[in-house]
Amino acid sequence: MSSLRNLKHRPRFSLSAHTGNHLVLTADASPRIELFVLADDIIRVLVLPDGEPHGPRSWAIAPGADDVPLEGRDRRDMSGFTPPSFEVSNDVDHLIVETARIRLMVELDGGFCSWEILHGAAWHRVMSDRKTQAYNFGWWDARVYHYIERRRGEMYVGLGERAGSLDRANQSYEMRNIDAMGYSARTTDPLYKHIPFYVTWQPETSTGFGLFYDTLADCRFDMGRELDNYHGHYRHFVAEHGDLDYYFIASADTPLHAVRRFTWLTGRPAWMPKWGLGYSGSTMSYTDAPDAQHRMGEFIERCSEHDVLCDSFHLSSGYTSIGAKRYVFNWNHEKFPDIDRFVQGYLEHGVRLCANIKPCLLQDHPAFDEAARAGLLIESHDGNPAWVQFWDEVGAYLDFTNPDTIEWWKARVKDSLLKHGVAATWNDNNEFEIWSPDAMAQGFGQPYPAHQAKVLQTQLMMRASRDAQREHAPDRRPFLVSRSGGVGMHRYVQTWSGDNYTSWETLRYNLKMGLGLAMSGVSNSGHDIGGFSGPAPGPELFARWVAFGIFLPRFSIHSWNDDGTVNEPWMYPEVTQQVASLIKLRYRLIPYLYELLWQSHSAYEPVLRPMFAEFPYDPRCLADGDDMMLGSSMLVAPVVEAGQSTRDVYLPAGARWVSYWSGEAFDGGQTVSLHAPFDQPVVLLREGSVIPLNVAEQHFSRPADERAFIAVPFAGADTARGGCVEDDGESEAWRTGAQGRWNVTITSDASTLRISVEREGWTQQPQPEIRILVPADEVRQAVCDGRALLADHTADGWRCLTISMTY
C-alpha cells in the first residue's frame, strides 16, 4: 500500500449522536462511523469515509423473516430487531459499548475497534482492528478495506462453497460468481456463490464470532496468506465498491451459535416439499438426444426394472434447443412431440420434473427483439443490449431489477412449464457474468452499473421463479434449485456445488465444500453425484460417491461426461444392486433429513456440521478430516480413497457411539476401524440420540411411509430425546395448523428404560403401533406406560420394541 499516508493523518472521532440503539461517531474532515446495537450478540458497524453512504439497499438482512421487499431493504431499517439494553461510556480516548454478550471499544484516534466476548464470568478479547490502518478513509483508492489482526491458532470457516480445506486459514479467496465448469474442488477459485460471511473460532478459549460483510460487490478475503513486515500478522477484506458495512456476531461455547444467528439475520430457510429429499435423476444426454421423449421414458423403465426409488428428474436444457443452441422457454417439439403426455407419464410414476431455465437470451432467441423493445434486458449507455458471451453464442441478460422483467419471467415460467405440470424450476447458468462498466441495470428506478451487483440479479431471478410457482399453485410449497446465489438464497432454493470434475479428489473436497456452505447459512445443498465433467466414474468411485451423497439434503446423480457416457444408478451392473440398496437407505433416512430441514427452517440449525463445530472441546476434532455430522446425532464417515474396504474413524470424546449396521457400541475418544462395504457406509449414532426412520418396504412402484425410531439410550442415568415433524409433505396447510410431531424420550437408570412416545397435533394417518429399535446388547428392562415391553425380534444388532398407540 505505497499510497498510505502517515499515521498522523488518521481521523479523530467523537460521539456526535446517540439515539436509541444507534450511535454516530464523526471526525472533523468527513469520516463517519455508525454503530447499531441490534442484539446482545450482534453489533453492526458502518464506516463512511466521506460521511455519505454509497452502497445500495440490502437484500440480505431479513431477521427472522421470509423475505425482504422486492426493491430491497433500506439500510437504516431496524424492523425485525429488538435492541437490547446496553451501556455506553466515553472518555477522551475511547468509546465503549457493552451488552450482555459483547464489549466493543472504539479508539477515537483512528476509529479502531476491539471486540470482547463474555464467556463464563470473564471477558475475552477476540478481535482487534489492525493498528497500522484498518479502514480506507478515502486515501487509497475507491475500494473498501477492512484489516484485522490475526491470532495464532485461529480457525476460519465459511465463505460459502470454497475449494480446498474447510479451515480457510492462510488462504485467499475471491468472490466473483463465475461458471467454473469442471473445477478442481481442491484449488479452483472463484466459484459460483457470493457469501461474504465466516466464523472465526479460537480453540484455546472456546470463543469465536461471525463476521458478515453486507455487500453485493465483487470482493476478496485474505485469511493470512498475505504477509507485510510493516503490519504484523493480519487478515483482510476488500470490496470493489460500496461501503464497509459489517455485522459482528458473538459466539461462545460453540461456533454453531454464530451460524444460527447469521441464518436468522438473513432470513428463514425455505420449508420445501418432502419429495425434494428423494433421489433426483438427471443427465444432459437424455434431452440432447433427438428422441429425447423416448429416452426420458427409458429412464422410468430402468428405475422400475432395477427397483430404484425416484421422486424427481432434472430436465436439462436440451429440451429448449433449436439446432445446437439453447433458448430458454422454448420447447423443441421434435424432441418432445407431446409435452403434456410426457409430463403426465412421469407424474403417474410419482416423478416430478424440474426444468432447466437460464437468464440470458441469445441474440437470435425468438423472443429477443420483443424483450429488447420492452426494455427487459441489461443495456449499455447507448440503449443497445449489453452483449455477453453465453454458451456458444452472444446474448444479453435479462434485468431483474426491472419489475416488468420479473412479470415477463413469471408469465413464461407459468405458461411454458407449470401449466404443463412441470413441478419446479432449475435456475442454471445464472452467474450473470457482466464485466463491462458500460452495462447498466435499471435498479428499480435508480440505475447503476450492472457489474456492481451481479449477484443481486441471481437472487431476484430465483425469487421470480419461486413467485411464479406460488402464483400458479398457491396451495403447494415451491421447490426450486439454483446453481449460483448469494446471502439470502436459502430463503428460496436448494443448491448444489456446480459442475464438478470426476475424481476421488473431488469426492473428498466436495464434502468440505458442503460443510462450508452449511456453516455459511445454506444447509439445503448437495453435489452432482459421480461428477459432472470429465471421465465417467469407475464402478468403485461411483458406488462410494452414491454412498456419500445419500446423506446430503440434495441427492442427484447428474453428468455431462466427456466420453458421452451417462451417470445412472445402473451404469455398472456389478454395483447396481448396491446402488439401489443405498438409494433405499436414503429413503429410510428421509424422516430424519426432513426433521433436520425443519430444524433449519424453524430454529436456523445447520443440517451438516463439521466435527469441530459439534465437538469444539475435543482437540482431535479440530483436524481437517473427511467426516461430518448429519445433525447432532449421526456421524457419517464416507470412504474417499480408492481400494479401501475399511474406514478408520475418530469418535469424539464424551459420548458412546453405536454402529448403525451392527449395533456395536464404542467409547468416544478413540479411533476405530470399521468395515465399509459399498452398500453399508460407515454411520455411527451418538449416545442419547433418537432418530426417526421410514421402515416401510420400499419399491419404485409402491412408495410407502411407516414411522419407527432407532435409539441409543444413555448407559447411565439420563434421558435420550428425539422426534420428527409430520405433515402432508407438499401443501401449505402446515401454515394453518396441519402439522404434527412425534416426540420420543427414553429415560434410563441402572436397570430400566422408561420409554414415552407421544403424537401431538395433526395426524394424516394414525399409526396403530410404533417400533423402537435399541442396540441388541441393551439388556435393561424396557417399560412404557407402566407396562413391560418385550422385544419382538433381534436382528442386525438391534432389538425391536413395539408400542401400541392410542389416539
Of 337, 355, 345, the closest CA to residue 299 belongs to 345
Of 629, 621, 616, 624, the closest CA to residue 203 belongs to 616
What pLDDT shows up at residue 6?
Answer: 41
Radius of gyration of the chain (CA): 27
CATH of residue 799's domain is 2.60.40.1180
17 in a domain, yes or no? Answer: yes
What pLDDT shows up at residue 703?
Answer: 74
109 in a domain, yes or no? Answer: yes
Q: What amino acid occupies position 75? A: R
43 in a domain, yes or no? Answer: yes
What are the backbone dihedrals phi and psi of residue 197, each rounded to the nearest 5 degrees, phi first?
A: -135, 140
Mean pLDDT, 10 residues at a time, over the chain (807 residues)? 48 96 94 97 97 94 98 96 96 97 97 97 97 91 96 96 98 97 98 98 96 98 96 97 97 96 98 98 94 96 97 97 96 97 97 98 97 98 95 95 98 98 98 96 96 97 98 98 98 98 98 98 98 96 98 96 92 98 98 98 98 97 97 98 98 97 98 98 98 94 89 97 97 97 97 96 89 95 92 88 87
668 in a domain, yes or no? Answer: no
Q: Pinpoint the alpha helices (H) of 604-673.
A: 611-614
From 71, 104, 128, the end of a domain falls on: 128
CATH of residue 121's domain is 2.60.40.1760
Pairing of strands 234-239, 144-149: antiparallel
Report the distance separating Cα 144 and Cα 236, nearest Å: 10
279 in a domain, yes or no? Answer: no
Q: Which residue has the cell 412416545?
A: 757
Note whether 299 and 287 are within 8 A (CB). no
Burial-class residue 348 by CB neighbours within 10 Å (0-12, 13-18, 19+): exposed
- The DSSP 8-state label assigned to residue 52 in this structure reads S
What pLDDT shows up at residue 775?
Answer: 97
Q: How many CB atoms lie within 10 A of CB 502?
A: 25
User: How does pLDDT run across 466-514, given as a tens digit for each residue?
Assistant: 999 999 999 999 999 999 999 999 999 999 999 999 999 999 999 999 9
Of 128, 161, 130, 126, the closest CA to residue 255 belongs to 126
Burial-class residue 65 by CB neighbours within 10 Å (0-12, 13-18, 19+): middle
602 in a domain, yes or no? Answer: no
Burial-class residue 15 by CB neighbours within 10 Å (0-12, 13-18, 19+): middle
What pLDDT shows up at residue 763?
Answer: 86
Sequence-ordered list of residues with C-beta below 8 angstroms from that of 745, at least 6 positions apart, any chain: 690, 719, 720, 721, 755, 756
DSSP per position, 369-384:
HHHHHTT-B-EETTSS
Burial-class residue 414 by CB neighbours within 10 Å (0-12, 13-18, 19+): middle
What pLDDT shows up at residue 807?
Answer: 67
124 in a domain, yes or no? Answer: yes
From 109, 128, 147, the end of a domain falls on: 128
What are the backbone dihedrals phi and psi of residue 301, each rounded to the nearest 5 degrees, phi first?
A: -60, -40
Report the distance separating Cα 551 and Cα 548, nearest Å: 6
Domains: count for the chain: 2
User: How does pLDDT run across 118-177, given as a tens digit for each residue?
Assistant: 999 999 999 999 999 999 998 889 999 999 999 999 999 999 999 999 999 999 999 999
Note whether 628 and 656 are within 8 A (CB). no
Task: Sort residue 700 into left (φ over 0), alpha (ψ -120 to 50) or beta.
Answer: alpha
722 in a domain, yes or no? Answer: yes
- 3-state SS string for 476-524: ECCCEEECCEECCHHHCCEEECCCEECCHHHHHHHHHHHHHHHCCCCCC
Angle between helices 573-603 and 539-549 (to 10 degrees): 20
Note whether 182 and 499 are within 8 A (CB). yes
Beta strands in 270-326 (DSSP E): 280-282, 312-315, 321-322, 325-326
Residues in the chain: 807
Report the distance separating Cα 302 and Cα 583, nearest Å: 14
Domain holding 103, by residue range, is 12-55+83-128
From 96, 128, 160, the end of a domain falls on: 128
Note whether 179 and 429 are within 8 A (CB). yes
- The DSSP 8-state label assigned to residue 556 in this structure reads E
CA atoms within 13 A on the CB side of 99: 22
Report the distance separating Cα 207 and Cα 433, nearest Å: 39
Report the distance separating Cα 171 and Cα 102, nearest Å: 28
Element containing residue 15 per DSSP (H, E): strand 13-19
Cell digits of residue 37: 446495537
